[in-house]
Structures are given as C-alpha cells and as structure tokens.
Amino acid sequence: MPLSMRRTQSIEPRQGFGQERAQASVYKVSKMLNRTEVRGFSLFVLMLAAIGCSSSPQAKEQRFLKRGDFFMAKKDYSRAVLEFRNASSVMPKDAEPYYRTGLARLASGDSRNAIVAFQRAVALNPRHLGAQLKLAEFMTATRNPELVQEAVNRLHNVFGDSADNPEAVNTLAIAEWILGKPDEASQRLEDALKRFPTNLQASVTLARIKLDGKDPGGAEAVLKKAEAGAPQSSAVRAALGELYVSMAQLEKAEAEFKKAVQLDSKNDAALRALGLVQIKAGRMGEAEQTFKQLSAIPERRYKASHALFLYQYGDRQKALSEFEALYKSDPQDREARTRLVAAYLAQNRSSDAEALLASALKSNPKDTDALLQRAHLWLRAARIDDAEKDVNTAIHFASDSAVAHFMLARIYQAKGLANNQQQELQQALQLNPAMLSARLALEGIFLSSNQGREALQVMDEAPAAQKTELPWMLARTWALLSGGQLQEAKSAIETALQRGRPAEAVFQNAVLKTAEKNYLGARADLDELVNRGGFDPRIVNLLMQTYVAKQESAKGLDRLRELAAAHPKSAGFQQLLGEWYVQSGNAQAARKAFESAKAADPRLPAADLAIADLDIRAGQYGAANQKLKPIIASDPRNVPARMLLAQAQGESGDRAGQMETYRAILAVEPSNLIALNNFAYRLAETAPDEALKFAQQAAEMAPDEPSIQDTLGWIYYHKGMYSMAVPHLRASVDKQPNPRRQFHLGMSYLKTGDQASGQKLVREALQKDPNLAKTEQGW
C-alpha cells in the first residue's frame, strides 16, 4: 500500500510487554554488536539527540535572533529585519522577534513599520517592557494630549513609578512637560540624575525644559554638568551644540560640534549639525568636507550626503556623477535609483531617467517603485495613457499600495475624471490614513466645489499623530473658513501663528479678517507678507479686494502700481497689474502691463494669452491667432490657449476651425465643461445625435447650469423633439432669464402648438433685443 497509508511502527514496548522481555531484547541487540560498534552507535544516538534539540523552534528562534543582532551591530538593518522575521515565523506567538524588528525598523528610519512591529509585540505580550516603552515614546512624540496621557498610563502600568528605568523616566518627564506640568517633569529628571548622574538623555530633556521656560542659563548649566561628568562623551558635546544653536550662538555651537566629531568621527548627528552651521555661516568649502565625512559613514542612509550637498549648494553635474556612481555600486538600492531619477528630471534629462527605469523593469517587471516612477515620468510628459498603464500594473502587483492609488488619482485628475480621482484618493487613505498628500488632495476637491463640511470631515479623520503637524492644521483651517466656522478658524489660526507666524497662517488670518469686514486688519497682515518678499498672487489679489470692498478701487490700483514699480523684474506683479487694469476697463494700460510682464519673463505664456484676449475684445482676431498658434504649436496640450483660439474663431465666423479646436481640447480634457457645452451647441446643427452625447455628459457634471439646459433644448429642437426641448429651455429661463433664452423657449412653444405662450415670449424677447431675429436664425 502507499507509504502515506502505512502505520508507523512504534519503538515503545507494547502494553503488556514486560520489563524482562524488553531487557532481553536489548541484550540480544547488544550481543550482535562488538564494543566498538556499541560506542559508535551510542555516539550516533547522542548526535541525533543533539540535532533534535537544536532543531526545536526555540533553538531556531535563538539562532535567528542572534544573527539579527549581529547585523544590527553592523548597522545592516534590512538583513537584521529578515533574520528577526525568520525568528517570528518559527515562534509566531513570541513578542521578542517583533520587538527587535521594531528596533531595526526604527534604526533604519522606518518609523511607521516600527510602530506596527511594537504594537504586534505588545498584543502578544502586554508586559513586554521594551515594546511598551517604545510605543509610549511614539505617543509622547505626537504631542497629542490624549495620546500623551495614554503613554503615561502605559508606563505606570508596566514600570510602576519607573525610577529604575532611565529611559522610562525620561519619557514620563517629557509627557508631563507636554501635559503642562514642567515643574513635575523637572523634579522627576533631577531625582533621576541623582541616581544616574551619567544619564545624558535625562540631562538633555531637563535642559530643553529649562530652555522652554526661558532659562537658557539653567539649560546650559545642566549640560555643562553632564559634560564635566563625561568629558569624553561625544553625545554630550553634540547636545551642547544643539543648545547653542537654539540660543543662536553659532560660534559656540560649531566649537561643540567639532569637539563631538573629534571624540567620535562617526557621530552622524554632530556631523550633520556641524555642516548646517557651516552652511549658515557661508563657509561652503568647510561644509562640503563635513558632508563628505558624513557620507563616509558605512550606513547606507548617509552615503548620498555629499552628493546631496553638492546638488543643493555646489556643482550639480558633479552631484549627478556621484548619484550615478552610488546607484552603479548597488543597483538594488531603490533609494539611490530614486535620487538619480529625480536628478535626471531636474536637469531635463528625461531620456536618461526613462532608460534607467526601463533597465530596472527589464530585470524585474514587478518592481512597483520603478513602475510608479516611470508613471510619474509619463505624467510629466503628458503621456497619460502610458502613465495609467504603468500604475495599473503596479496595482496588480501591489494592490495595497497607497502611493499607486494616489498616482492613479493624479492620472484621473489629468483626464478630468473628478469622480474617479476622488475614489482613488479615498482608496489611498483607506490603505494609509497617514498619507497627508492624499488627504490634502481630497480636501482640495471638496473645497473647490464649496463642500466645506465634507472637507472638514476628511481632515478630522486624520490619525491623531498627524493632527499636531502644521500642514494638517493649516489645511483644516481652510475647511473651517470654507464652512463659515469663523470662530473655530480664529482659534486654529492663533495656534498656528504661535509657531513662528508661518506665511500661510498669516494669510489665513487676513482671509478671516476680510470675512469679518476688518479690511484694515487684513491689509496689515497682507502688507507683512508682501514685505517678506516673493510673489503670491493670492496675497496681492486679496489685498486689492480689501480696497474694492471699501469702494476704493482707484486707491487699490495705486497701491498695486507701487508694488509693480518696486518689483520691475517681477513678471507676476506686472501680470497681476494688467489683470486688474482689465477689470477696471483700461485696456491700454493693461496691454502695457502685460508687455512688461513678458519682458520680465519671455517664457511667461500667461502674458501672451492676456494680450491675445485683449485682441479678441478689440475684434482683432487675426492678431489674436498670430499670438495663439505658436503657443499651441509648442505646447499642444495648452487648453487655455486653445479656448481663446476657439473664441476668436467663433467670433470671426470660422465655425469649422472652432469645431476642430473644441475637438482638440476635449482630447486633452474630456471633462472640460465649457468645451463640452459649446461643442455640443455647434454640433447640433449638423450632427444632433452626436451633440446630444456631449451635452448629456456636460449635464451630468453640472445639471443646474442654465447654458447647458439651453444647449440640450437646442439639440432636441434640431431633432424635431419639441416637447422634450421645452422642459430644458424652461429650466434655463427659470434659472437665468435673458432675451436669447426667452426667444428659444418661445420658438419651442410655437413648434408644440402653444401659440399664446410662444408669441408672448418671442415678442418680449425681440422688444429687449431686436437683433435676435438675425443672430438666432437657426430657430
């Protein structure tokens, strides 16, 4: 019978098989072997026993943990993670492998997966001291009061008062400090330093608390005492250097960082801080040498330090060569490849980036990082279909990739598919709730459609840790302002302003004051931003609106002229001045401002478009065409230029050219509402069935838009379906009545046999605009 069906024969004595018979059997076997054979057989049995013991899950786990610790000591964290993962696979219910995985992840800078590993360890063993401590440290770092209090509770539950664990004492002190108890935190640390005088962590935290309490002298004294107790400590010197940086004493800081590096040439924190101080002092040669020393540290994450310095402050070509060399030395280093691709793109070497990614994908078609990077490359080149193909391939191999779904959302945005874009952003956030870029993009969709409540909900669903970050705070404030929750917005703005008056918070304050009709207060904030330098059209436009609101438009134009005169080389200021001149009806001054903008930046297409628009307004359609066609030739996907060209063609009577232009626009932006509606209206005369499809697509996007309802009525009219035309035309007139739409509705009533309603509407429309009899001949 098959082997799998055989019974395993037991070597145990059978029930009823007496001891005497068992001994006799052993005696018979031993008689068959000579002494040498017996000794050999005994050794063989012992070896089998040893192999059996060493093959136990516990023994295997210990071997994997030991190898993982070996790689941790060598700072080879990726291989350490693999060993710890092997350990957890043989002992899946033991917390220790997960804890050590968390430590390796943390050391490599992967905080997110480190937290996951520590949480798994705690789930398996709630009394695991190390994992509980690390989770408490992460909770404390969020500065969220609820999470910080939970961290305190965890520490007390696991460590008691934590007096014998310096790391727990430090975390508890930080938590108390964040919760508004600096005196208790200071006392806890001072008590700890009496027991553990060399506890640098406690000294640094105590110094930070004193510095926060406006006691820089006390902070310095704490670290000086730590230095006296450990004069050969590189870490103490680095901590002193950081203190002096926060006190703006850069010379002292540099001296301490140099001492720290002398004591430990591989102190990465000291090297990085020293390089930044040297950059701030303008000594780029010294800074370069410092970052070169940092890049010599064996850990992979530092190898690009010198190249990154060169790229930002020095020779970009030389930096690129270093990026290439780093990638060539380790083609499996995806971070190195990412840096190299970014450098290629920044220097407009798209073909090199494309070749690099093609090579990577040739060797590994499932490389999702390469697929997504190439999709980004295609998106930049407006090769939307190619980008979508790569992203869908990446999702096939990694359906749980939040980055892939975020990229797909960007592709749908480029295609004008707002609903699909929203769905992919929601999917990305479901996979990774901490993905702030996706959250901000989703909020932007709601804000653009005046859905303030939905935008606020998106921001409030963010992870607690994210809610302490300034970008989240600023984004949520926009949702509050959009929803009219001005009092809560005011409180949020005041909190953000306490973080060094960031420009976005100052601008939000100006928006809030404008909403409260405090125009002078808003103007003060906007003047502050203007004086900081740079150009932001939002700031200047809001500044102008404060003048318009007080019916001081002329005064506002004078202010804008002053700004433009003060920044003659700023194309932005000149362009904006021209746009406000257009609004005031001064076409001549507007043209002059747009020409100044073009002189400041010959590559600024907005200036050419604005001048072409002025030509169209003046009836100079040929001049407009001459300006627009070169722009479109150099950038076929320039929709604003094509929209102006369509307008010029329509007003000059070039209906065929206008239809061709609208088709080109819809090939680039299938959901361009204006192009859909206008194209459908023109197409109705010759192809009403095709026109209906475009009009219905527009109606799905904007069902209440009067012009679209008018277009639908026009199409049904041409199809001879007058009874179906009337409801759409009536809706158009009800929402936004004008003589032209009244004429359309009246003619449709006449076609349905309602002579009284039709004659009344047509007569009223012609009284208001006698030209309708000529312009609306198709009716």
- HSE, CB side, 13 Å, CA atoms: give it for residue 519: 12
Measured CA to CA, the distance from residue 657 to residue 649 in angstroms comes to 6
Phi/psi of residue 761, each to 5°?
A: -65, -40
Rg (the chain; Cα; Å):
37
pLDDT digits (tens, 9 = 90+) for 340-373: 999 998 888 989 999 999 999 999 999 999 999 9
CB hemisphere CA count around 569 (13 angstroms): 1
- Percentage of the chain modeled with pLDDT above 90: 58
726: CATH? 1.25.40.10
The pTM (predicted TM-score) of the whole model is: 0.67
pLDDT in the model for residue 48: 38
Rounded to an integer, the average pLDDT of 575-587 is 93
Residue spans of beta strands (DSSP E) within 165-262? none
Q: Who wins on pLDDT, 166 or 538?
A: 538
Give the lowest-confidence range in 141-145, 238-242, 531-535, 632-636. 141-145
Position 55 scores a pLDDT of 62
The tokens of 677 are what? 């509606």
- Band the pLDDT of 314: cuts 50, 70, 90: confident
- Could you give the number of structural domains in the chain? 1
Least confident of 33-37, 113-117, 740-744, 767-771: 33-37
**b/e 7-16 (16+ beta carbons within 10 angstroms → b):** eeeeeeeeee
b/e for 136-155, b at 16 or more Cβ within 10 A?
bbbbbbbbbeebbebbbebb
Q: Could you tell me the two tokens for 261? A: 């590096």
User: Is residue 722 domain-resident?
Assistant: yes
The whole-number pLDDT of residue 386 equals: 93
Residue 468 has pLDDT above 80, yes or no: no
Mean pLDDT taken over the chain: 87
45 pLDDT above the threshold of 50:
no
pLDDT reading at 121 higher than 60: yes
Compute the distance between CA of residue 524 and CA of residue 581 in angstroms, rounded to an integer: 24
When pLDDT is averaged across residues 771-775 and rounded to a whole number, the result is 86
pLDDT bin (cut points 50, 70, 90) of residue 42 is: very low
What type of residue sits at position 46? L
Residue 163 pLDDT grade (very low, low, confident, very high; cuts 50, 70, 90): low
Which of 7-11, 212-216, 298-302, 543-547 is predicted least confidently? 7-11
In which band, very low, low, confident or very high, does the pLDDT at 415 lie, cut at 50, 70 and 90?
confident
User: Is 226 among the domain residues?
Assistant: no
CA–CA distance, 541 with 533 (Å, rounded to integer): 16
424 occurs within a structural domain: no
Are the C-beta atoms of residues 758 and 746 closer than 8 Å to each other? yes
Residue 29, pLDDT above cutoff 70: no
pLDDT at 469: 85
CA–CA separation, 308 and 194 (whole Å)? 43
**What does 565-622 look like in DSSP terms, one character per residue?**
HH-TT-HHHHHHHHHHHHHHT-HHHHHHHHHHHHHH-TT-HHHHHHHHHHHHHTT-HH
Residue identified by tokens 């400041």 is: 600
Q: How many CB atoms lie within 10 A of CB 363?
A: 10
- Tell me the mean pLDDT in the region 599-627: 91
pLDDT beyond 80 at 702: yes
Q: Where are the alpha helices (DSSP H) in 74-159?
A: 77-90, 95-107, 111-124, 129-142, 145-159
Q: Is pLDDT of 146 > 90?
A: no
Q: Give the tens place of pLDDT for each residue, 677-699.
A: 999 999 998 899 999 999 999 99
Is 726 part of any domain?
A: yes
268, two tokens:
């990465």
pLDDT band at 482 (very low <50, low <70, confident <90, very high): very high
Check residue 161 and give its pLDDT. Answer: 61
Record the tokens describing residue 92, joined without a space. 């899946």
- Tell me the average pLDDT across 76-94: 91
Q: Is the pLDDT of residue 773 over 70?
A: yes
Cβ-in-10-Å burial (0-12, 13-18, 19+) of 274 comes to buried
Task: Note down the domain range covering 777.
Answer: 680-779
In a domain, residue 129? The reply is no
Sort residue 160 into left (φ over 0), alpha (ψ -120 to 50) or beta: left
Element (H, E) at 574: helix 571-584
Q: Are 625 and 641 in contact (CB under 8 A)?
A: no
Give the pLDDT band (50/70/90) at residue 474. very high
| 696 located within any domain | yes
Whether 712 is in a domain gets the answer yes
pLDDT at 409: 96
Instruction: Tell me the mean pLDDT in the region 573-589.
Output: 93
| Percentage with pLDDT > 70 across the chain | 92
Over residues 546-578, the pLDDT tens digits come to 999 999 999 999 999 999 998 888 899 999 999
Alpha-carbon span 280 to 680, nearest angstrom: 60
Domain assignment present for residue 72? The answer is: no
Measured CA to CA, the distance from residue 327 to residue 340 in angstroms comes to 8
The helix, strand and coil proportions of the chain, stated in percent and rounded to the nearest 5, come to 80, 0, 20
Residue 114: is it exposed, middle or buried by C-beta count within 10 angstroms (0-12/13-18/19+)?
Answer: buried
Angle formed by the axes of helices 503-515 and 470-482, nearest 10°: 10
